[in-house]
Structure 1
Amino acid sequence: MPQELYYQVALTQISQIGDVIAKRLIDHFGSASAVFAAKRSLLELAPEIGTMRAAAIRQFDNFARVEEELRFIERYQIQPVFYGEPAYPQRLYHCHDSPVLLYFKGSAVLNAPRMVSVIGTRSPSAYGKKMCEQLVHELADTGVSIVSGLAYGVDVIAHKAALEVGLPTIGVLAHGLDRLYPAAHKAVAQQMTAQGGLLTDYMSGTSPDKQHFPMRNRIVAGLSDATIVIESGIKGGSLITAGIAYSYNRDVLALPGRVGDTQAAGCLQLIKSQQATLITSASDVVQLMGWDMATSAVKAPIQADLFVALSDEEKHILSLFIEKAELHIDEIYIRSGLPGSQVATAVLNLQMSHQLKCLPGQVFQRT
């Protein structure tokens, strides 16, 4: 288990240090271990830290809980994804309140070229269910990754529809990965870990408390290029997520419904207020996003001459896999001898071009 992960997990457990401040600390000191190694006087001088937060960092002593989490991560092959690392979702860098640390169980690429969130009411009408399934099925040829919250209703319908047509699908959870809410979706969740994954910013042992769901919604909104609202009342989690996506300057799309229908009221309000664009089919989504339906984002063959188009840094990193078939991200940093920012960019580009595959535990494999 990488030593840096020990301090990364610890950083998330310090009182008075939330995600925003934690990310500023990383930007300032360079790593979580450097934050813990810093003298109190230096911590106090860091942006927005001051005496109270510096004291909280220096006085943190709950390392037993950190070690417990590391054992859970290792036992269940959880992939921790920390801010600044290659596997961290690039789209979340544009969200000021994004998590500093994510926990992922699955096979999906969190930086897939095309990602869309599909959300809606927990009690969809027959029309809403049909349209959700139809929309996701029609998106199959785009290779898009479908993101949702694994809740009752539209969420799980979208996940199931994605599984049916072979699309990666990611469920963002409002609790730790040692439990599942709702429990009725256990079979779907198990399928998703093989064809997508489960993602959360909560440590194991965290219950699905009410206040966690609005926080979960920021990841659903931030992880994707666009958020599609299938059906929604005038209040509820779907409109909160749509509002967050809009605040992130992401595309919000909504299916229209009948005037006077309470389950369509939220979508109609989004369209009326111009916070969402009206769509009626997958072709509308493809056109609005500027996608090419003829070319699947995940099924398109890699051209034979792709290697010659790689940067020198990317070629150098690929050469490291000649001696070993698999390398941990820390090994890549050390063996490459390149600056961290260059390694992060190169590894991400190699994933996007299907030259590298990220395995559980931040281990990379040449494809």
Structure 2
Amino acid sequence: MTDTELLNTLALLRVEGVGDIVAKRLINHCGSAEAVFKAKKSQILAIEGIGEILYNNLKNTHVFTLAEAEMKFIATSGIKPLFYLEPNYPERLKHCIDGPVLLFSSGTINLENRKTISIVGTRQMTSYGSDLCRKLIEDLAPLDPVIISGFAYGVDIHAHIIAMEQNLQTIGVVAHGLNQVYPKVHKKYVAKMEENGGFLTEFWSISNPDKENFVRRNRIVAGLSEATVIIESADRGGSLITANIANDYNRDVFAVPGRVTDKYSMGCNNLIKSQRASLLTDAADLIYMLNWQLEEKKDKPIQKQLFVMLEPEEQKVYDYLQKKGKELMDIIALECEMPIFRLSSLLLTMELKGVIRPLPGKLFEAI
């Protein structure tokens, strides 16, 4: 993106009455943000939903003064602007009608051809949520997913920390400009996150972490990923907003169930009860629903370990696959007389032990 294009795009986003949807409509019709400002009145008024008031607002040159100030910040901070029509813009977010026209990025983010999940939840996380969040990310680590969250207290920062411990790329989507850190106590994690991942925001350097910004931030969290996981949530909260947005984007949503008497399981239980989320008990549930496969790395091939210790149920499944060859999960469950949810967990464990491998079409075979 050239400096001229960036300046005009920033200015357009400062025009009163222009949000992401309207800005995209204007740019798509005129060809660029610069062309929008140069367009004739008849051309602008021919665009659906655009009237005299907005046309007159486009004549306000003060928006360029604001844009120039932000350009100076971007140039001196090392922040990378991501434009929605360019290849470096997150692909999944391109498919969201209200996705930001511009994102600002710091760190070493790479989302190209990557498995991505968002993990969110309450800021008052319990030990139950903490333990399950850790096990989920640790069990997913061999698939090398990108872990996305909101860098807030509770589930968010916990997910980022565990991802870093597992050497996974992790991205914090923040509700303010990248000239500040919020919460300030999380500043100690910034450098480490930017080494393998980093931060994304749509907000300018003049933006503070105001309450309304967090709702806007949530649509980016939902839009970036293949699926959103809610670890714990009360009956109201930002994570439920993220779940609803993910549903609107036709993305998978998973929720961890809890006791009906637990305050911070009420939101998750309600999502599952109303069929707005799939029940999640372990990583195998997510892997099965998203049809993720454990990819063998060419430099580190996964080999069957000698003398692997298998639990009795694992041995039963392994013996069946050795005798039968590749088979569908549903048939394995039927023949081995165990429920799907239990089998899916066993298959993941056995895959990590290197004794079976998944095949396309939800087939499995012994190695």
TM-score by length of 2: 0.79
- Work out the CA distance in 1 between the residues paired with 2:214 and 2:300: 36
Tell me how far 1:113 sits from its aligned partner. Answer: 2.5
CA distance in 1, matches of 2:300, 2:89: 24
Alpha-carbon shift at residue 128 of structure 1 (Å): 0.5
Quote the Cα distance in structure 2 between the aligned partners of 1:112 and 1:159.
Answer: 20
- CA root-mean-square deviation: 1.7
The alpha-carbon distance between structure 1 residues 265 and 299, as it changes in their structure 2 partners (threshold 3 A), is farther
Give the equivalent residue in structure 1 for 2:211. 210
Task: Give the deviation of 1:97 after TM superposition.
Answer: 1.4
Aligned-pair CA distance for 1:59: 2.4
The alpha carbon displacement at 1:41 in A equals: 2.5
Question: How do 1:1-367 and structure 2 match up within 5 A?
Answer: 2-295=3-296
Q: Structure 2: how far apart are the matches of 1:115 and 1:91?
A: 10
Residue type matched to 2:167 in 1?
G
**Contact preservation (8 Å) 2:12, 2:63:** no
Match of 1:324 in 2: none
Report SS of the residue matched to 1:116: strand
Taking the aligned partners of 1:135 and 1:192, their CA distance within structure 2 comes to: 19
Contact 1:115 1:145 in 2 (8 A): yes
Paired with 1:163 and 1:261, the residues of 2 have a C-alpha distance of 29
How many Å apart are 1:64 and its aligned residue?
2.1
When structure 1 is superposed on structure 2, of 145-154 and 282-291 the one drifting more is 282-291
> Counterpart of 1:332?
none
Distance 1:110 1:13 in 2: 28
> Could you tell me which amino acid in structure 1 is paired with residue 15 of structure 2?
I
* Number of corresponding residues: 300
Question: What TM-score does the superposition give when structure 1 sets the normalisation length?
Answer: 0.79
Distance 1:85 1:180 in 2: 27
Is the radius of gyration larger for structure 1 or structure 2? 2
Report the Cα offset of residue 300 of structure 1.
Answer: 8.5
Local SS of the residue matching 2:162: helix
Change (3 A) 1:164 1:274: same
SS of the residue corresponding to residue 98 of structure 2 reads coil
Q: Following TM superposition, by how much is the alpha carbon of 1:15 offset from its aligned partner in structure 2, in angstroms?
A: 0.6
CA distances 1:133-174 after superposition (whole Å, capped 9, x unpaired): 111111111111111000000000000011111111110111
> 2:313 matched to which residue of 1?
none
> What percent of counterpart residues are identical?
47
Alpha-carbon offset, residue 266 of structure 1: 0.7
Call closer, same or farther: CA 1:19–1:163 in 2, change over 3 Å.
Answer: same
Q: Give, as a single letter, the amino acid of the residue that structure 1 aligns with 2:56.
A: A
* 8 Å contact kept, 1:40–1:58: no
Q: Distance in 2 between matches of 1:67 and 1:95?
A: 28
Q: SS state of the match for residue 74, structure 2? A: helix
User: Which sections of structure 1, spanning at least 5 residues, go unmatched?
Assistant: 302-367
Higher deviation after alignment, 61-70 or 190-199: 61-70
- CA 1:97–1:85: 2 relative to 1, 3 Å: same
Whether the 8 Å CA contact 1:163–1:192 is kept in 2: the answer is yes
Runs of 4+ off more than 6 Å:
298-301
